[in-house]
A and B are shown apart, each in its own frame.
Chain A
Amino acid sequence: MNDKIRQWSLILVGLSGLVLAVGILALCTGSAGIDIKTIPRILLQGRDTAEYSILMGIRLPRILLGMAVGGALSLAGTLLQGMFRNPLVEPYTLGISGGASLGVCMNILFKFHAVIGIIAYPLSGFLGASLVIFLVYNLNRRTQSVQSNRMLLTGVMISYVASSLVMLLMALSKSDDLQNIVLWIMGTLDEPNLNLIKFACAGSVAGLFISYFFCMDLNALLLGEEEAASLGINTTRTKKILFITASFLTGLSVAVAGIIMFVGLIVPHFVRMMTGPDHRILLAGSFLAGAAFLTLSDVIARVIIAPLELPVGVITGIIGGVMFIWALSRKQVTL
């Protein structure tokens, strides 16, 4: 027991160090090169300098958003993989990201945000994601269990339908709205609204907090629903709450950063290789690793064709896909 806690603490300290290191790297990297040694001086000099504005007004919010979205997507992937006992399940492959993007797209077109404020973005994303998860789950219910391969196929199909509907909306939209939608769909961490960034940070940490109440239930669910129920787990209630949590995390991420693929697939997989399948360490480990991965991907996206920027989704797609193929060839993928 003590050995386990010591080992897990080391992993968490290591991953936290990684997040911090990636954060500092992201602070220093950009078109205006800022040396790491000058950062304390810039912060002490105060608000009047241009470097201070770049650090605190542009780079830090972007880093915080990257960490929040990376953590949220990775956590959503971990929750879904745990529930469905399928390592290929994640918000994107299940169509949840597609549903969320349709919701946000409708919000941009119908301007709900003009009526209820900036909260309309995450709310529409959450509603779109929830609708998809409700559809995928109920279309695949067979007696008491859910068929995970069928569910994955349904998710992929719903994802196609959602992206077709997004394209339909784009075709019907005015040029201003179209530009907004295209920029947002490409997936970027360049979010100017500070309130939305604060909401994303608070939301992803809240998601992690809620997930921890169900970490033992998730461990039991690895054995299948029947065996988990025989261990006293109320599987229906647990799955409902975790579905809502995963939808919330995905909806929130898509609303503030657009579609970013593969974070929820790759990160939990690699963290699981390091920690094993125990969700007591896996949840926090995936959250931290996801935060570091997306922030690092964003740094790469900013510098690789500087002074232009690539959408971060392109980088996560390429890195994620290559790493996953490498992992598949190296070791059998299991939960």
Chain B
Amino acid sequence: MKPVLEVSHIHFRYKKKVILKDISFCIYPGEFVAVIGPNGCGKTTLIKTILNSIQPETGMIRIKGHELSHLSNRALARYVAVVMQTINPAAMTVRQYVQLGRLPFFEKYQFFETRKDEEIAEKYMRLTGVVPLADARINEISGGELQLASIARALTQEPTLLVLDEPTSHLDITHQARILELINTLKRDLSLTVLMVLHDLNLAAEYSDRLVLLNKQNGRVFSTGRPETVLTENAIQTVYHTRVKIQPNPVSKKPWIFLVNQQANENDPRIKRNEDEPL
């Protein structure tokens, strides 16, 4: 099976500081891959290189076999749609916003959406449950509703790869679950390939098929694979410098991470601390 996204040996520096070093991984059709790592490890930078907003010093990215540097913005937008972490709240309606997703498919000098464009936008508004908000302005709806509208807009691009940059970071637990359940359903029903940056390790473990854990110290991929192989106590201690306990989620059996309050539990024999580790 050919990968949808192929990232090979990406290297990126910002003002002499190495952000990404020799990053390589692939995403195959229908996979849900989450990129995780501590603040400042280059997750968003990696997403920006995949969206061609910034260019890596060396390395190559291929989308469905096409080298990224050879694709125009328009051609790339037909393959890849993105849901940003923050959305600029313009005064347009949700319907107008979602219909903008058809822009990459407009002919030259086309000024109006075709009937087909409108039908596609309506379909994804229904799927994401934003039809009741269709005539509301996007600067007047809640953060969670805006995120759903943004997903509808991205789906209206009918992309091969859906990229989401921390889509749940400002949301309450209801909207977090709603959005991730929706992405999972879409992945299953539409065979969508998903690449998502997530801060919350438990959410990443629960919903993704594979994880890519980035290491801030050297800019490299620390490990990649299924959540139960990537999310180990040692890996988190090394990458995040934080002690945790990991146990299987009683319902899904996926790894579930518990933070250890070091001061409150310092006499607990179940918690070991390396002698050379700073407090």
Known: A5-B112, A144-B54. A231 touches B91 (CB 8 A): no
Known: A144-B53, A334-B90. A232 touches B104 (CB 8 A): yes
> What 1/0 mask marks residues of chain B from 53 to 93 whose CB sits below 8 Å from any chain A CB?
11000000000000000001111111011101001111111
Which residue of chain B has its CB nearest to the CB of A227? B84
Report which residue of B53, B54, B113 has the largest number of chain A beta carbons within 10 angstroms of its beta carbon. Answer: B53
The answer to whether A216 and B96 touch across the interface, beta carbons within 8 angstroms, is no
B51 at the binding interface (Cβ < 8 Å): yes
Could you say which residues of chain A place their CB within 8 Å of the CB of B76? Answer: 232
B115 at the binding interface (Cβ < 8 Å): yes
Report Cα–Cα, A280/B96, bound state, in Å: 12
Which residue of chain A has its CB nearest to the CB of B97? A223
Could you say which residues of chain A place their CB within 8 Å of the CB of B90? Answer: 85, 222-223, 277, 334-335
Could you say which residues of chain B place their CB within 8 Å of the CB of A280? Answer: 111-112
Q: How large is the interface on B (under 10, 10 to 19, 20 to 34, 35 or more residues)?
A: 35 or more
A219 at the binding interface (Cβ < 8 Å): yes
Which residue of chain B has its CB nearest to the CB of A235? B73
Could you say which residues of chain B place their CB within 8 Å of the CB of A226? Answer: 51, 53, 84
CB distance from B243 to the nearest CB of A (A): 36
The answer to whether B81 and A85 touch across the interface, beta carbons within 8 angstroms, is no
Main SS at interface, chain A: loop
Could you say which residues of chain A place their CB within 8 Å of the CB of B74? Answer: 232, 234
Report Cα–Cα, A280/B89, bound state, in Å: 19
Known: A1-B113, A144-B53, A144-B54. A231 touches B88 (CB 8 A): no
Chain B residues 103 to 149 lying within 8 A of chain A, measured CB to CB, are 103-104, 106, 109, 111-113, 115, 118, 139
A213 at the binding interface (Cβ < 8 Å): yes
A233 at the binding interface (Cβ < 8 Å): yes
> What 1/0 mask marks residues of chain A from 297 to 335 whose CB sits below 8 Å from any chain B CB?
000000000000000000000000000000000000011
The answer to whether A232 and B78 touch across the interface, beta carbons within 8 angstroms, is yes
Report Cα–Cα, A278/B157, bound state, in Å: 20
Could you say which residues of chain A place their CB within 8 Å of the CB of B93? Answer: 276
Which residue of chain A has its CB nearest to the CB of B80? A230
Chain A residues 246 to 297 lying within 8 A of chain B, measured CB to CB, are 272, 276-278, 280
CB distance from B123 to the nearest CB of A (A): 16
CB distance from A80 to the nearest CB of B (A): 16
Report which residue of A5, A220, A229, A280 has the largest number of chain B beta carbons within 10 angstroms of its beta carbon. Answer: A229
Report Cα–Cα, A215/B72, bound state, in Å: 20
Report Cα–Cα, A226/B78, bound state, in Å: 16
Report Cα–Cα, A141/B96, bound state, in Å: 30
The answer to whether B73 and A233 touch across the interface, beta carbons within 8 angstroms, is yes
Could you say which residues of chain A place their CB within 8 Å of the CB of B171? Answer: none
The answer to whether B53 and A231 touch across the interface, beta carbons within 8 angstroms, is no
Which residue of chain B has its CB nearest to the CB of A85? B88
Instruction: Determine which of A144, A234, A278 lies in contact with B96 in the assembled complex, contact meaning CB atoms within 8 Å.
Output: A278
B255 at the binding interface (Cβ < 8 Å): no
Report Cα–Cα, A230/B54, bound state, in Å: 12
Chain A residues 177 to 221 lying within 8 A of chain B, measured CB to CB, are 212-213, 215-216, 219-220
Could you say which residues of chain A place their CB within 8 Å of the CB of B100? Answer: 219-220, 223, 231
Report Cα–Cα, A234/B74, bound state, in Å: 8
A30 at the binding interface (Cβ < 8 Å): no
The answer to whether B103 and A276 touch across the interface, beta carbons within 8 angstroms, is no
Could you say which residues of chain A place their CB within 8 Å of the CB of B80? Answer: 230
Which residue of chain B has its CB nearest to the CB of A229? B73
B101 at the binding interface (Cβ < 8 Å): yes
The answer to whether B118 and A231 touch across the interface, beta carbons within 8 angstroms, is no
The answer to whether A334 and B91 touch across the interface, beta carbons within 8 angstroms, is yes
The answer to whether B51 and A229 touch across the interface, beta carbons within 8 angstroms, is yes
Could you say which residues of chain B place their CB within 8 Å of the CB of A215? Answer: 111
Report Cα–Cα, A5/B112, bound state, in Å: 9
The answer to whether A1 and B112 touch across the interface, beta carbons within 8 angstroms, is yes
Report Cα–Cα, A278/B113, bound state, in Å: 13
Report Cα–Cα, A300/B74, bound state, in Å: 49
Chain A residues 94 to 134 lying within 8 A of chain B, measured CB to CB, are none
Instruction: Determine which of A216, A224, A278 lies in contact with B88 in the assembled complex, contact meaning CB atoms within 8 Å.
Output: A224
Report which residue of A85, A227, A280 has the largest number of chain B beta carbons within 10 angstroms of its beta carbon. Answer: A227
The answer to whether B73 and A213 touch across the interface, beta carbons within 8 angstroms, is no
CB distance from A107 to the nearest CB of B (A): 37
CB distance from A30 to the nearest CB of B (A): 41
Known: A213-B109, A226-B84, A227-B84. A232 touches B103 (CB 8 A): yes
The answer to whether B101 and A216 touch across the interface, beta carbons within 8 angstroms, is no
Could you say which residues of chain A place their CB within 8 Å of the CB of B109? Answer: 213
Could you say which residues of chain B place their CB within 8 Å of the CB of A272? Answer: 91
Which residue of chain A has its CB nearest to the CB of B54? A144
Known: A219-B100, A220-B103. A230 touches B51 (CB 8 A): yes
A-B CB contact pairs (8 Å), 28 listed: A1-B112, A213-B109, A215-B111, A219-B92, A219-B100, A220-B100, A223-B97, A224-B84, A229-B53, A230-B77, A230-B80, A230-B84, A231-B100, A231-B101, A231-B104, A232-B74, A232-B76, A232-B78, A232-B104, A234-B72, A234-B73, A234-B74, A276-B92, A276-B93, A277-B90, A278-B96, A334-B89, A334-B90
Known: A276-B91, A334-B90. 16 other contacts (CB 8 A): A1-B113, A144-B54, A212-B111, A213-B109, A216-B111, A222-B90, A222-B92, A223-B97, A226-B51, A226-B53, A227-B84, A229-B51, A232-B74, A234-B72, A278-B92, A334-B89
Could you tell me which A residues sit within 8 Å of B by CB distance?
1, 5, 85, 144, 212-213, 215-216, 219-220, 222-224, 226-227, 229-234, 272, 276-278, 280, 334-335
